[in-house]
Structure 1
């Protein structure tokens, strides 16, 4: 199976991804992602949502390896970006399966070492912002949803950091080598 690639408008066609359900936890209590072998790729619930053009609508960092954390940005000025406690995406989705937002990609930047690329965008509401990292095979590594950050429309990379700038000109700077934002992916 080929990895998803953006179309002319910057949207990723990931409609061929699918998954099966299987619950498991690691020694730290993190959910180990549901796995299915699709052309040799491990596919998580997050992959499936992205494939359908959706993202979790909770404020949080959601990783394809199953680790997720609450996130807060303090509004469109994005001055107070913080990651909080671990959350379980499967439990969140089981409690409220309608808590999703559509995905629109407005910016993309390649990582200078060829290890993948970053995307910035928004959700169903103009107040939502989405950030994402993909590996070199264009598989989703993590997705950050922020409900009141506004859409992210520009990305600049100065390795190991990336600045994601919203449509108001405000930026979040992320260190891409920290464990939460690193390129690890299951499989």
Structure 2
């Protein structure tokens, strides 16, 4: 926004950003744009022309907390984009990283150990099927809402990463709520189809 970066996200099509539903709802009436640090022109502002929130998004529990931003133009690259596949698997029992940004608005990753369910410390843990918790392995946790969860792909013998969800909040005491994309792949595919983009392809 005019005040600077407020959320993170990940390109899942040439002009479609996957983020959290909370990020989308927060700016429902605002003019917003995306910045892509690894693109040909890192300072370019990609205007957002459409905002999509998961139809079953719950702002109280953060269930189904996913959203999309449609950019006015495709992101331009030099030498090809920095890519990660969208994974069909969950984030359970894997060491992953969550993308966020620091006080200088530079992208930075935080290593997290991921477990299923709510983060520890709540008297009444949320029983939400698409919820996971990332416990930071770093001294500082830079995770931001909408930031992609990247985990090593079990199908890639070369150490490639795949996007398996998004952060739902900032880190609190080294813990960050994560949303698992596994249960929402069909929703994402349908939205890409409606927006006129090729569907995600998976190996058999």
Q: Give the structure with the larger strand fraction.
A: 1
Which bracket does the TM-score occupy, shorter chain normalised? under 0.3
Q: TM-score scaled by structure 2? A: 0.25
Q: Tell which has more relative contact order, 1 or 2 (C-alpha 8 A, sep 6+).
A: 2
Q: Which protein has the larger Cα radius of gyration, Structure 1 or Structure 2?
A: 2
